[in-house]
Structure formats: structure tokens, C-alpha cells
């Protein structure tokens, strides 16, 4: 039986660029910026890294289809490097590759880096002319807001919630993100909004308004990982952050092909969460998680995911949100860095950005955002649509 990777790998350095519109920088510049912060944080030399995983989603827009761009931009010493892509879980997938290599003994010190350069592609959203033959046949007119709007309608119908109540709860999610983003000097959007302005914003896809939707950004984030034993030999014996769990669940077609799934939740999140809790030894996530970073591509996604992660009872997340349970001063602070909504969403970097916030918080280095003594946190990515997606969950905490 697989034993998992709990406490077999520690993060010794992380870096993250500001997310936003970097008209003056290319993707390779963003790679360098994130990497330089991580190397300085780890207090190691570049040539000590012996393997790398490179997360890049929209390759034709940014760099290339291989990991050559990463090795070349950083002048890494001809090490093994692998480029990965797994929709919005791309950054988390890069981290998973690095931590599994270290845990397996295949690497001493590994790098995971994600990047995306999307704001100067000429597209308002994601620069996708086609997603491939399958998607073009099954989803000829699909949009991300449209598919997640259906999630909202199904959730409200299943649980007997009025649309006014749901809109109020979704507005609180977005309001919270903007309140948190103001505290983050690296966030893309740093402006507070009133709940009234969020509710009255132009409609994008009913019931999702403009401020219920995240945008896309330019940015990069990275992590350097090794074993606890290597960290000790390197003299890194302080407040180490270790990986407790890394799990991915992928849709197998049941949601889009059969009637068992009612469209009101994300099935892969529920599966990945249970696997991650088991791997991390978490019996009660409501008591054992001090903060969370979740995939708030739309406000309804964050709301529904609170139930899928087992943090709210089914049909009760909207009430918990309105009660402030997930505010920065609530029981389980969520997206205290602003989330996708306000920190931004460069697809290949977002998963690593989430872990960056957990890492900073656990080490007590989050500045104005700092929470009181967090010890363990969870990050959650959801790439794709509610009925066909990739879900990644990572748990990190004090070693």
C-alpha cells in the first residue's frame, strides 16, 4: 500500500512575482524574478538544484512546448527538466512532480516553477482558439462563466435557496477577496468594493456578474524542495514547512455522461479532499486547517467548494459565508492574499502562488496579511468546467 509523502519533503524556498499587467516584461523575465526570490529565500546556489518541473499552460502564447525555456532563462546546469500542463492545476502539478522526485530519492534539491504571460496576447480572457477536437465537439459554444453559472443555478435549486440569497453570499465572497487584496502588495487588483456595487455589476452569465468573475494575469511563482535530512545538513533547522499531502483527482466522464451527478457540486474536489486528508492524517479539517487557498475562478466556485472540502455542511456554505466563517478573522480564513479574484490568475503559476501564501503565513512572514500562528493550510485548484475538470489539493504545515 502506498505510504504517501507526509513530512518526507520540506519547502526551503519560495518566490512569487507581483501578478498583473507586466507590459515591460516577458515570461522569461518573470521566471527570473520568482526564481531569484526563491533562491535567496533558500540560501542556496543555483547549481545545487538538480531537477526542475516547469508549469506552463498556454505554451504557444508564452514560451514553448518544452522545459527548455526554463533551463535557458535560469542558465541551469543542464539538469533534467520537465514541462507539465494540467489546466488550472498546472502550478500544483509542477510542485507535485518536484516533491515526488525528492521523496523517491531521484533528486536532492528540486525546483517547481510556473509562469504565464497572458495580458498582451490580444485576447480579453484566455487565448484559446481551440481546445482540441473533443471539446470542440462536446462544448461548441462553452464559456467558463456559462458553465459555472449552471453550477450556481443547480446549487440554488437543490438546496432551495432564493437567487437573492445566493447573490448576497456570492457578493460576500467577492467583497472578501477585494478586502484581502488591498493588504497584498503583489496582488493584481487592490481596490475595495461595496457589496452593493458587486450585486449591481453588469451581468456576465446569470447569476454571475462582473465582480463574480476573476480575470487573468501575468506572473510567476516557484518553490525549492528537498528532504528534511538534506535541510538539516544544510543548516536549515528553523521553522521548516513540509508537504503533508498532494492529491489530484480527474473527471472520468461520469459527470457529463450520466445522471448521477446533479450539477450542484464538484465531484473531483470531494474525492481529492478525502485522499488528501487521509494522506495528511487529518481527521477533522474544520479543526485542523488554519487557513485555506481555494480556486475562486468565480464566486460560486469558492462557495460550493467549502462544502466539497467538508468545511461546511451540505447546503449551508452560503449561510457560513454570510456569517463570516471564511473571512480573515473567521474560523477558517480563506484566500487571505486576495485569491484568484484579486491576486490574479496566471494559469501556470496559480497553484504555486497558493502554496506561497500558505508558506509565508506558516513562517510568520506575511506582513500586513499575517494571521495568528497558523500551523497548517490547504490549497485547492480546479481546472476545467464543473462537469469535466482536474482538481488538485496540497496540504502543507509545520514540520
pLDDT digits (tens, 9 = 90+) for 309-326: 999 999 999 999 999 999
pLDDT the model gives residue 59? 65
| Beta-carbon contacts of residue 105 (< 8 Å; ≥ 6 apart) | none
Average pLDDT over residues 73-81: 96
> Where residue 370 falls among pLDDT bands split at 50, 70, 90?
very high
What are the helix (H) ranges across the chain? Answer: 27-42, 59-62, 68-74, 90-103, 133-138, 144-159, 163-181, 195-199, 228-233, 254-257, 267-280, 285-288, 299-308, 317-322, 339-342, 350-362
Q: How confident is the model at residue 142 (pLDDT cuts 50, 70, 90)?
A: confident
pLDDT score at 257: 82
Catalytic, 345? Answer yes
pLDDT, residue 234, reads: 93
For residue 31, the model assigns a pLDDT of: 97
Pairing of strands 219-226, 10-16: antiparallel
Of the residues 16, 22, 58, 88, only one is catalytic, namely: 88
Confirm if 111 and 83 have CB atoms less than 8 A apart.
Answer: no
In this predicted structure, which of 136-140, 263-267, 316-320 has the lowest mean pLDDT?
A: 136-140
47 exposed, middle or buried (CB, 10 Å; 0-12, 13-18, 19+)? exposed
Look at the pTM and tell me if it is higher than 0.85.
yes
Query: Tell me: the pLDDT tens digits for 203-240?
Result: 999 999 999 999 989 999 999 999 999 999 999 978 89
Over residues 258-263, the mean pLDDT reads 88
Q: Give per-residue pLDDT as tens, 271-293.
A: 999 999 999 999 999 999 999 99
Predicted pLDDT of residue 134: 72
pLDDT at 129: 62
Cβ–Cβ < 8 Å for 334, 342? no
What pLDDT sits at residue 143? 86
Domains of the chain: 10-124+218-233 (3.40.47.10), 142-213+245-398 (3.40.47.10)
Is it the case that residue 27 has pLDDT exceeding 60?
Answer: yes
Least confident window among 121-130, 141-150, 182-191: 121-130
Residue 72, pLDDT above cutoff 70: yes
CA quadruple 159, 162, 163, 164: dihedral positive or negative?
A: negative
Rounded CA separation 251/141 (Å): 20
Rounded mean pLDDT, 124-139: 68
pLDDT for res 130? 64
Task: Decide if pLDDT at 378 tops 60.
Answer: yes
Q: What phi and psi, each to the nearest 5 degrees, are found at residue 220?
A: -145, 150
Marked catalytic residue, from 213, 345, 380, 391: 345
Average pLDDT over residues 167-196: 97
**Looking at the predicted structure, is the pLDDT value of residue 1 above 60?**
no
For residues 16 and 353, the answer to whether their CB atoms sit within 8 Å is yes
Query: What percent of the chain clears pLDDT 70, i.e. is strictly above it?
Result: 94
pLDDT of residue 151: 97
How large is the average pLDDT for residues 78-107?
97
61 pLDDT tier (thresholds 50, 70, 90): low
Amino acid at each position: 500500500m502506498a505510504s504517501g509523502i507526509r513530512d518526507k519533503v520540506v519547502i526551503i524556498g519560495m518566490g512569487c512575482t507581483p501578478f498583473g499587467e507586466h507590459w515591460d516584461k516577458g515570461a522569461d523575465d518573470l521566471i527570473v524574478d520568482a526564481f531569484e526570490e526563491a533562491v535567496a529565500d533558500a540560501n542556496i546556489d543555483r547549481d545545487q538544484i538538480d531537477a526542475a518541473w516547469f508549469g506552463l499552460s498556454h505554451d504557444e502564447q508564452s514560451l514553448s512546448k518544452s522545459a527548455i525555456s526554463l533551463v535557458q532563462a535560469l542558465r541551469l546546469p543542464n539538469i533534467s527538466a520537465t514541462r507539465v500542463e494540467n489546466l488550472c492545476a498546472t502550478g500544483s502539478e509542477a510542485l507535485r512532480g518536484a516533491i515526488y522526485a525528492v521523496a523517491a530519492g531521484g533528486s536532492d534539491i528540486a525546483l517547481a516553477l510556473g509562469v504565464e504571460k497572458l495580458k498582451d496576447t490580444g485576447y480579453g480572457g484566455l487565448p484559446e482558439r481551440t481546445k482540441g477536437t473533443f471539446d470542440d465537439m462536446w462544448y461548441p459554444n462553452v464559456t467558463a462563466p456559462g458553465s459555472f453559472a449552471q453550477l450556481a443555478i443547480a446549487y440554488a435549486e437543490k438546496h432551495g435557496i432564493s437567487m437573492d440569497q445566493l447573490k448576497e453570499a456570492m457578493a460576500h465572497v467577492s467583497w472578501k477577496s477585494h478586502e484581502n487584496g488591498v493588504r497584498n502588495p503583489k496582488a493584481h487588483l487592490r481596490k475595495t468594493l461595496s457589496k452593493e456595487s458587486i450585486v449591481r455589476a453588469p451581468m456576465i452569465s446569470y447569476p454571475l456578474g462582473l465582480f463574480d468573475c476573476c480575470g487573468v494575469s501575468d506572473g510567476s511563482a516557484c518553490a525549492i524542495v528537498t528532504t528534511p535530512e538534506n535541510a538539516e545538513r544544510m543548516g536549515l533547522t528553523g521553522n521548516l514547512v513540509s508537504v503533508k499531502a498532494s492529491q489530484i483527482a480527474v473527471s472520468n466522464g461520469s459527470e457529463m455522461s450520466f445522471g448521477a451527478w446533479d450539477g450542484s457540486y464538484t465531484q473531483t474536489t470531494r474525492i481529492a479532499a478525502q485522499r488528501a486528508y487521509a494522506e495528511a492524517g487529518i481527521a477533522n479539517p474544520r479543526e485542523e486547517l488554519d487557513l485555506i487557498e481555494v480556486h475562486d475562478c468565480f464566486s460560486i466556485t469558492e462557495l460550493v467548494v467549502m462544502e466539497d472540502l467538508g468545511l461546511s455542511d451540505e447546503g449551508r456554505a452560503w449561510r457560513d459565508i454570510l456569517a463570516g466563517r471564511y473571512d480573515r478573522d473567521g474560523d477558517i480564513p480563506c484566500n487571505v492574499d486576495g485569491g484568484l479574484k484579486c491576486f490574479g490568475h496566471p494559469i501556470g503559476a496559480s497553484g504555486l502562488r497558493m502554496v506561497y501564501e500558505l508558506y509565508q503565513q506558516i513562517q510568520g512572514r506575511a506582513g500586513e496579511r499575517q494571521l495568528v500562528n497558523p500551523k497548517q493550510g490547504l490549497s485547492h485548484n480546479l481546472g476545467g468546467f464543473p462537469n469535466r475538470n482536474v482538481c488538485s489539493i496540497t496540504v502543507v504545515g509545520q514540520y
